[in-house]
Structures are given as C-alpha cells and as structure tokens.
Structure 1
Amino acid sequence: MTERMLIESVMPRADALIAVHTMVAAEPAATYRAARDLDFLTVRTPLLTAAMWLRGLPGRVRGNSAAPPARLQLDDMAAMPGWLLVGERPGAEIVFGAVGRFWRPVIDWLQVGPDEFATFDEPGWGKIAANFSVTPYGEQYTLLSYQCRTVTTDPDSRRRFRRYWWLIRPFVGHIMRASVATIKADAESGGSPAAQTPVVDAVTPAGRFGR
C-alpha cells in the first residue's frame, strides 16, 4: 500500500506499534468481509482464555464484573465501554479504537465520539487505534494485516503505560495472531481451496516506543 492508511491519519504518532500479517487464499472482498464480521469472542486459544480470566480477576474480586456479551463484532463496539468504530475505507480498511487508563488493574474507560478520537489529548489517558486491512497479493492471495497503535497523552501516563506494555506485549501479539488465523479460516472456508497457504505472519516492530 502506497497511500496513507486511515489508521495513520487517526494516530500518526504511537508510543507502541505492533502489526501481524498473513496470506489468505481468498479474494480481498471475501477476506475483508471475514474481518468485518469477525466475532472476537470466537477467537480462542488456551493462553488467551487464561489471560482473559486473569485480566477480569480484579473486577470479580470487587464484585463488579459484567457478564460477557453473546457476541462481539465490530458493529457491536458501541456497546463496549470505551470502544468505538473510528472510520472505514470499505473493502480495504476498518479502524476501531478506545480511550482509557488500561494500565490499571480495573480499566477506566472514557467514551468519546469518532469525530473526537483523533484529536483527543486530555492528560491522563491512553488511546488505542487498531485496524484490519486487506491488500491484493498476486493473483490468488490477499495480504491481511492487523495493526495496533497506542499513544498516551502526558509523560506520567506514558511511563505507566510502558511498564504495562512490557508485561502485556506478548499477550497482545498472541491475540492478534489468533485473530488473523480465525479471519483467514473464515475467508478461506467460503472460497475455493486453490492452495494450501502457510501461516505466514510477522510482528513488527519489536516493542518499539515513540517515533
């Protein structure tokens, strides 16, 4: 992709950036539909299940944990505290994000609107911007990418986030790889099995902070 991505416009600077890529044996349109329709609650691995259980433990101890929703697709983001759909280039890229103090044991989310997200800079918060994007890859494949960027709004929040990121980064990469594997399987099951594509993914860059 040579044009500027939507996620770059929404969050041109990042304190942390991680991306995962995989080849899909399906057309870009089918791959995009699979990404757009992904139910995040169907992404399951033993490590992910354990990590989510531990992440929700402080809320359960306090007795204020909420029951999980029946499904969680991109169109359901508005029902999740802090999360929202930020923007979309139909058929090519969709961006979703959240504002919160996610380094705390119980996350403090802040609801903002799509028009406020890019310019929000109130001190004491962090912003997550994530996207799914698809690009034709030769004649038979699609390159599916999942990118996640995080930026903080003041030096103290940045210090807190960096300590949190050092701990959580391996789990974030694992979740992202599991998500693209689920999208890949969904996209390929709806098309012709033209090829047995290998699982080819990359996490980039390795724990970089700042730009």
Structure 2
Amino acid sequence: MKIDDYMPSYQFSEFHQLHIAVSPEIVYQITCRLDLRQSSFIKLLFWLRGFYSRARPAGSSDGLELTLKDLTEKAGFILVDQVPNQEIVLGRVGQFWKPSGGIITIPADQVKDFHQNGFAKAICNFYIQPGEEGNTVLSTETRIQTYGKLAELLFRLYWLMIRPFSGLIRIAMLKEISRQSAAEVI
C-alpha cells in the first residue's frame, strides 16, 4: 500500500473496512467523485469539526460540496498519491488540537519528509482491492505522527475527544461510497 511509503511508523491510527458488491473499478470511480453532501450525518460531523464552514466558498448559500476535490482544494487536505483503481492517499499537516486546526499547506512532494516540531502529520487512504466473486474490499486507514513532546501530549488529549467522531466519519464515508457504488450499477 502507498500509505506505507508516506508513513511507515506512527503513534496513532484508525482502520475501517467494508465489503461492497460491485467491481473495484466502480468503487474507485465513486470514491474519486464522491459527494458527501448526500449524507446528512457526514455533513453534521464535518460541521461540528469546522471543515464545512472553513471550506465554504464566500457568499455560498449551500456550502461545501464535500467532494475529494473540495477537501483537497478548500479544506487543507493534500492529495499525496493515487494508484488508479487501487488507492488514494491524502495528507494533512497542522496543529489539529487548535480550534482552527492550525493547518499548513505544503506541496504533496514534501509531505513524506515533513517533521516540524510542534505539529502533527496525518496520512489517510482509501484502499480498494478485489474481493471474492467480483466484489470489492474498501478500507480506509488514518495514521498520525506528532513531532515534539508537547505536540504529542496535545494531540493525545485531542484524539481522546475526537477519535470516536473521526471513526464515525470514516465509517459513514465507506457506507456512502457503498451506497453510491450500488446505485451506479442499477
């Protein structure tokens, strides 16, 4: 998996997986163009975390579209790597424990080597692999590495509060990909 290339060691992680009764190619296409606005639950969780309001275009009445493109262009995520029909790797650098998220933008080719004291780096992926009988196994993993003792302490406290919601978002994303993938083949 490409995620291993960008963060082979980490302090915090989370993993979720779902079996989907469609081909890996369809799951990949849906993941790439996924619009999370169709899930009120995800919108609520993103709103609570502040992604929705930070990424909403000025003057927009309906807000963030919640697509992969919006997350990478407006909400501070970085498209780090992509293997067609197999994996999408996203990164994010910041001080996540701050109300603003303390997000800093760096080029994708600098994500792997980022290790600035006082910050944390998160790498997450969507990994798509063939399952049995033409089905697909879709998983998402998030790995976080902090830099410096204070950053580790602050992130650990933050993670205690946010991890359940982080997990709910990822599970809801997998279910929404599954729902939209099934609708694609109907």
Partner SS for 1:150: strand
Do 2:20 and 2:178's aligned partners in 1 also have CA atoms closer than 8 Å? yes
> Which residue in the other structure is 1:138 paired with?
132
> Which residue in the other structure is 2:82 paired with?
88
State the shift of 1:140 in Å.
2.9
Percent pairwise identity: 31
State the shift of 1:70 in Å.
4.0
> Which residue in the other structure is 2:34 paired with?
38
> Which residue in the other structure is 1:71 paired with?
65
Task: Please give the residue correspondences for 1:50-199 in structure 2 after superposition, counting only pairs within 5 Å.
Answer: 50-56=44-50, 67=56, 69-191=63-185
CA deviation profile, 1:159-204 (whole Å, cap 9, x unmatched): 1100110111110111111000000011111225xxxxxxxxxxxx
State the shift of 1:43 in Å.
3.1
Partner SS for 2:19: strand
CA deviation profile, 1:121-158 (whole Å, cap 9, x unmatched): 11111111111111111113110111111111112101
State the shift of 1:98 in Å.
0.8
TM superposition score normalised by structure 1: 0.78
Do 2:64 and 2:70's aligned partners in 1 also have CA atoms closer than 8 Å? no
> Which residue in the other structure is 1:21 paired with?
17
> Which residue in the other structure is 2:60 paired with?
none
CA distance in structure 1 between the aligned counterparts of 2:127 and 2:13, rounded to whole angstroms: 15
Alpha-carbon spacing, 1:97–1:187, altered in 2? closer, same or farther (3 Å): same
Partner SS for 2:40: coil
Structure 2 residues not aligned, in runs of 5+:
58-62
State the shift of 1:83 in Å.
1.6
Partner SS for 2:152: helix
- Which amino acid counterpart does residue 49 of structure 2 have in structure 1? R
- Computing the radius of gyration from Cα coordinates, the structure with the larger value is 1
Backbone CA RMSD of aligned residues:
1.9
| Higher normalized contact order (CA 8 Å, seq sep 6+, divided by chain length) | 1
CA distance in structure 1 between the aligned counterparts of 2:118 and 2:38, rounded to whole angstroms: 33
State the shift of 1:53 in Å.
4.1
Alpha-carbon spacing, 1:52–1:77, altered in 2? closer, same or farther (3 Å): closer
> Which residue in the other structure is 2:7 paired with?
11
- Which amino acid counterpart does residue 172 of structure 1 have in structure 2? S
How many matched pairs?
Answer: 179
State the shift of 1:81 in Å.
4.6
Structure 1 residues not aligned, in runs of 5+:
193-211
Do 1:19 and 1:146's aligned partners in 2 also have CA atoms closer than 8 Å? yes
Alpha-carbon spacing, 1:70–1:163, altered in 2? closer, same or farther (3 Å): closer
Alpha-carbon spacing, 1:86–1:157, altered in 2? closer, same or farther (3 Å): same
